[in-house]
């Protein structure tokens, strides 16, 4: 998953801040942890996209989040690296995707 360029008014921007808000307030991240957080945020942003041009990337991101297939770094490991509960994130995303798709 390639990094996504976002503008300041992008709908994905608040989502990235929400993930940082889940971290311990005084937790300082290593470069690797910042990378893991960016990968998680990018995957989450991809799963929320409805544009037909992004369906394949969104499906791949969702498969990674759910733990399907083979990946160099699993969603679980990426979440563990930054101290996030991958089960809670999966549950939240299932609910969010359901609400997003119904609008």
Question: Residue 36's pLDDT is what?
Answer: 94
Q: How far apart are CA 12 and CA 75, in angstroms?
A: 19
> What residue ranges do the domains of the chain occupy?
29-102
At residue 17 the predicted structure's pLDDT band, cuts being 50, 70 and 90, is: low
| Cα 29–chain centre separation | 17
* Tokens describing residue 47: 């799963």
Query: Please, are residues 86 and 80 in contact by the beta-carbon 8 Å criterion?
Result: yes
Q: At what angle do helices 12-22 and 31-47 cross, to 10 degrees?
A: 130
- For residue 32, the number of C-alpha atoms closer than 13 Å in the C-beta half-sphere is 7
Query: Please, are residues 66 and 55 in contact by the beta-carbon 8 Å criterion?
Result: no
pLDDT digits (tens, 9 = 90+) for 18-67: 555 556 555 688 889 989 999 999 999 998 888 888 899 999 999 999 99
Please state the pTM of the whole predicted model.
0.69
């Amino acid at each position: 998953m390639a990094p996504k360029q976002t503008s300041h008014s992008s709908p994905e921007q608040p989502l990235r801040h929400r993930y940082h808000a889940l971290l311990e307030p005084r937790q300082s991240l290593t470069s690797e942890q910042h990378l893991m957080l960016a990968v998680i945020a990018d995957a989450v942003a991809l799963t929320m996209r409805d544009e037909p041009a992004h369906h394949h990337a969104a499906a791949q991101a969702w498969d990674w989040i759910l733990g399907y297939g083979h990946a160099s770094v699993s969603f679980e490991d990426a979440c563990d690296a930054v101290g996030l509960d991958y089960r809670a994130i999966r549950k939240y995303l299932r609910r969010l995707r359901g609400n997003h798709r119904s609008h």
